[in-house]
Amino acid sequence: MPYVCGSRFRVRYAETDQMGMVYYANYLVWMEVGRSDFCRECGFSYRDLEREEQAYLTVAEASCRYLAPARYDDEVFVETELSRVSSRLIEFSYRIKNGDTLLAEGQTVHIVIGADGKPRSLPERYRELLKSRL
């Protein structure tokens, strides 16, 4: 069974729109929270990767399918799973829930780039840490 990282928090008022529902772009921010927590649980942070290796995970593709609205003060749970990792590409999948209600599901695809903005290989140490969660 694949490893799933869970991130839990409450919807802040500033994340809602005029209709009282969470503004759609915030779901992408929540995916980033899940992704950052996933990496920490693997044994590293984005900051480590950037500072120590000058390697950056740029988003090449993002998708989100919205199924039900979240509202102010709802407890949100983001399930993050690693779908794929290779020398230059990492893909994550997300399920965003409120209790048993599935609010949204999505994916992000990341390309590893260097400080010069050009594609490069993910350092072996980080690739192995991620692969341990597949």
SS3 category, 30? helix
pTM for the predicted model, two decimal places = 0.94
In the beta sheet, which residues pair with residue 21? Answer: 71
User: What sign does the dihedral 57-108-14-17 (CA atoms) show?
Assistant: positive
Assign a CATH topology to domain 4-131. Thiol Ester Dehydrase; Chain A (3.10.129)
Residue matched to tokens 């390697």: 55
Among 10, 124, 27, residue whose Cα is nearest residue 80: 27
Extents of the domains making up the chain: 4-131
Report the pLDDT averaged over residues 1-30: 94
Output the average pLDDT for the chain.
96
Q: What is the DSSP letter of 100?
A: T
134: confidence class by pLDDT, cuts 50, 70, 90 = confident
Q: What is the DSSP letter of 52?
A: H
Residues designated catalytic: 17
Q: Are 59 and 108 in contact (CB under 8 A)?
A: yes
